[in-house]
Amino acid sequence: MSHLVLRHLSKRFGNQRLSALKDLSLTVAAGEIFALLGPSGCGKSTTLNLIAGLLQPDPVPYPGEIWLEGIRLNPLPPERRGVTLLSQHSRLFPHLSVGENVAFGLKMRRIPRAEREAQALRMLERVQLAGLAHRRPAQLSGGQAQRVALARALVIQPKLLLLDEPLSALDANLRQEMQELILSLQAESGVTTVWVTHDQAEATTVAQRIGLMFEGQLHQLGSPAEFYQQPQSERIARFFGGVNFWDAQADQHQLWVGEGIHLYGAVPQQGKVRLMIRPEQIQVFAHPPTSLHNVWRAEVISERFTGTQRRLKVQTVLGLLQAWVAPHQRFRVGQAVWVYLPPEALWCVEGSPSVAALPLLV
């Protein structure tokens, strides 16, 4: 069942030549965590502000509509939409205590004082801040302040929770802790959630589905696995970390790259294709493996240890490849190795006229 429905949303600011949002339509199911992913300026936050009622969609080229639980939100002010927006900055009221901050939304709904204080205390326990109700925001760490903001957002039991880069101001350890906390609270409450992020890893970790945006438009919609395994264009593949690409001529399972260079693919294709493989899917061996398709001799050009991986650049007849291997696999620069490109890991994608402007992820 569709819980949130967006139809033909567009938004242009002032005299900008390009729209911040162009004819966006999508649906989010009840109880789903949906991630809007994309680089800065692609329209993610604009979309959240439209849903929250902080902005109004443009009437042209189409009159954009926002529906939640079958109710059209466009004419409703923000406070009547049943929507809560949490940004990367906690925006706590500095003159109120932690408990008063959490209870503020309940107070606006005229919940009796004793009841709202009790609900605020219970919510503080759920975000692991029991005992801090009487502190002021200035006495909190960044992670604690964001937990208070989360408690304030959830205590009013919104129909829809909007998260706008909620963890980007936190360090890596706190981000992981907050991810787990938000996922746990969302599972308990079942609140439908739209999570905006520019971080591919965060989107694939937290969301059941992802919508990838570039320049105000939705380019692909699907599960994290679909983005990883079946990107619909080279631009999308590069955004998700793909760095090895070739032009190829396909004849069913046979793939010809250049003169006399033959690969075998698991998925049949026909005609000219753009071929890709992710660096972590390439296997590297110190000795030639036996009875495998797609094995090529190579030379290690560079090696970089990242903690969880060793990132290699290897020179092959296919050109310079990037291969990310397990940290225990140690190779030296100049060493002769063999690379294996699993047939099931080779994907054909549509080319993109703007991929040259995108940096390789190394």
Q: Which whole number is the average pLDDT over 139-163?
A: 92
Query: Sorting pLDDT into bands at 50, 70 and 90, what band is 1?
Result: low
Mean pLDDT of 76-101: 91
Cα separation of 104 and 127, whole Å?
A: 17
CA atoms within 13 A on the CB side of 3: 18
> What pLDDT score does 80 carry?
92
Mean pLDDT, residues 214-222 taken together:
95
> pLDDT at position 228, please?
87
**CB contact at 8 A, 22 and 50:** no
Mean pLDDT value of segment 194-203: 94
**Ranked by mean pLDDT, which of 173-187, 254-268, 313-327 comes out on top?**
313-327
pLDDT of residue 359: 32
Which domain covers residue 334, as residue numbers? 243-357
| Under 8 Å between Cβ of 47 and 24 | yes
Question: Do residues 221 and 300 share a domain?
Answer: no
Residues 348 and 215 in one domain: no
- Whether residues 334 and 254 share a domain: the answer is yes
**Position 149 confidence tier, pLDDT thresholds 50, 70, 90:** very high
Q: Which of 229, 256, 271 is the last residue of a domain?
A: 229
> Is residue 36 a part of any domain in this protein?
yes
What is the tally of structural domains in the chain? 2
Residue 330: the pLDDT is: 94
One domain for residues 191 and 260: no
Spatial CB neighbours of 86, under 8 Å, sequence gap ≥ 6: 149, 150, 153, 161, 162, 163, 164, 166
The CATH number for 132's domain is 3.40.50.300
Residues 156, 28 share a domain:
yes
The two structure tokens encoding residue 227: 């983005």
- 118 has a pLDDT exceeding 80: yes
CB-based contacts of 350, cutoff 8 Å, min separation 6: 232, 233, 234, 274
In a domain, 126, yes or no: yes
Q: Are the beta carbons of 314 and 302 closer than 8 angstroms?
A: no
Task: State the alpha helices, DSSP H only, in the chain.
Answer: 44-52, 98-108, 113-126, 142-155, 172-189, 200-206, 224-229, 234-239
> How far, in Å, CA of 229 to CA of 241, rounded?
12
Share of the chain above pLDDT 90, in %: 72
pLDDT in tens, 236-261: 998 988 779 999 998 999 999 977 78
Mean pLDDT of 101-113: 92
Mean pLDDT taken over the chain: 90
Together in a domain, 320 and 345: yes
> Residue 104 pLDDT > 90, yes or no?
yes
- Shared domain for 170 and 266, answered yes or no, is no
pLDDT above 90 for 352: no
Given a cut of 50, whether residue 358 has pLDDT beyond it is no
Q: What is the DSSP letter of 233?
A: B
**How far separated are the first and last CA of the chain, in Å rounded?**
41
* Last-in-domain residue among 186, 201, 229: 229
Residue 351: the pLDDT is 60
pLDDT at residue 261, as a whole number: 87
The proportion of the chain whose per-residue pLDDT surpasses 70, expressed as a percent, equals: 96
Q: What is the pTM of this model?
A: 0.86
The number of C-alpha atoms within 13 Å of 80 and in the hemisphere containing its C-beta is 7
- Say if CB 257 and CB 275 are below 8 A apart: yes
Angle, CA of 305, 326 and 306, to the nearest 5°: 20
pLDDT at 292 over 90: no
The residue among 35, 4, 21, 3 whose CA lies nearest residue 226 is 35
Q: How many CA within 13 A on the CB side of residue 335?
A: 16
Select from 229, 256, 290 the last residue of a domain. 229
Which residues, in sequence order, are CB contacts of 206 under 8 Å at separation 6+?
Answer: 33, 35, 179, 182, 183, 195
- The confidence score (pLDDT) of residue 360 equals 33
d(CA 268, CA 229): 16
Tell the burial category of 28 from Cβ atoms under 10 Å away from its Cβ (0-12, 13-18, 19+): buried
Residue among 303, 221, 229, 211 nearest 266 (CA): 229
Mean pLDDT over 121-131 rounds to 91
Residue 145's SS3 state is helix
**Overall average pLDDT of the 26-55 stretch:** 95
Q: Which strand (E) or helix (H) includes residue 56? A: none
